[in-house]
Amino acid sequence: MTVRTEIDKATGVATVTLDRPRRHNALDQDTVAQLAATWRGFRFDDAVRAVVLTGAGDRAFCTGIDRGWDVPQPDSPYSADDPLPTVGPKANDLWKPVIAAVNGMACGGAFYLIGESEFVVADETATFFDPHTTYGMVNAFESIYLAHRMPPGEVARLALMGAAERMSARRAHEVGLVSELTPPGGALEAALRCATVIAGHPTEAVQGTVKALWAAKEATRSHAFARAPDLIKLGNLPPERQADLFNSRTQGGFRTR
């Protein structure tokens, strides 16, 4: 199992941990399927009233799609298979609140999970970046999620700078991506504290509030998502050229702001 779940029935809080620390908690086919099953299972579990999502180890929350996962694509120009739209709680019709607890790296496909969390708690070791453009890929879905959480200029900078720059936890807190900043190692405890408070409120009111907050951005998000696959098909380099760029460039030259 690459997703570990613990439920504290006394508080009503479930902790979901991405458990692939040697792979920086990157998402492979099994992990995506386990996450989707976890979110859908919580819909029927009255013992769960709030959720904290985190990553195992101290190096990464999640680094997106595992580079070893070759996702087959259909030949038709009208079709594209993106493996991540079903990875988040909202995509699986879960309206119980989810809080992301981030330490270490969060990049690429991690923003699907952050984007479908209610808010983010991060410790001072966290960094946020997205290498799509560096490796010849359109940064579409991730940018759309971030556009609902950060000022447009900050989203543009993060998306366009690619692997050359990482947003520090402190900067992420300043621009609104992170709601609470903790000392190193403190994000999970702080997120659990928030989740415990929320889980103590009447669950119907909490879920209705989550749904209302999501509805406030759903129309623009859905419209943007509808355009994303075409932008990706038009702008992505062929896979072999992406691989060449990935192999020829490293993240050693990045700077953090």
Per residue in 94-123, pLDDT (tens digit) is: 999 999 999 999 999 999 999 999 999 999
Query: Which ranges of the chain would DSSP assign to H, the alpha helix?
Result: 29-42, 110-115, 141-147, 152-161, 169-175, 187-199, 203-235, 239-248
254 or 174, greater pLDDT: 174
Q: What pLDDT is attached to residue 251? A: 54
Instruction: Find all residues with CB under 8 Å of 74, minimum gap 6, and list them.
Output: 80, 81
pLDDT by residue (tens digit) across 159-194?
A: 999 999 999 999 999 999 999 999 999 999 999 999
Q: Measured between alpha carbons, how far is 127 from 62 in angstroms, rounded to an integer?
A: 11
Highest mean pLDDT among 29-38, 66-75, 231-240: 29-38
- Residue 246 banded pLDDT, cuts 50, 70, 90: confident
Q: Over the chain, what is the mean pLDDT?
A: 93
Instruction: Find all residues with CB under 8 Å of 45, minimum gap 6, and list them.
Output: 7, 14
What tokens does 136 get?
Answer: 């010849």
Topology (CATH level 3) of domain 3-184? 2-enoyl-CoA Hydratase; Chain A, domain 1 (3.90.226)
In 3D, which of 138, 160, 151 has the Cα closest to residue 227?
138
Tell me: pLDDT of 79 over 70: no
Domain ranges within the chain, ordered by starting residue: 3-184
pLDDT by residue (tens digit) across 63-77?
A: 999 887 766 666 776
Q: What pLDDT is attached to residue 254? A: 81
3-state secondary structure 129-145: ECCCHHHCCCCCHHHHH
Q: What is the pTM of this model?
A: 0.93
Q: What pLDDT is attached to residue 73? A: 65
Share of the chain above pLDDT 90, in %: 77
Highest mean pLDDT among 135-139, 154-158, 216-220, 222-226: 154-158
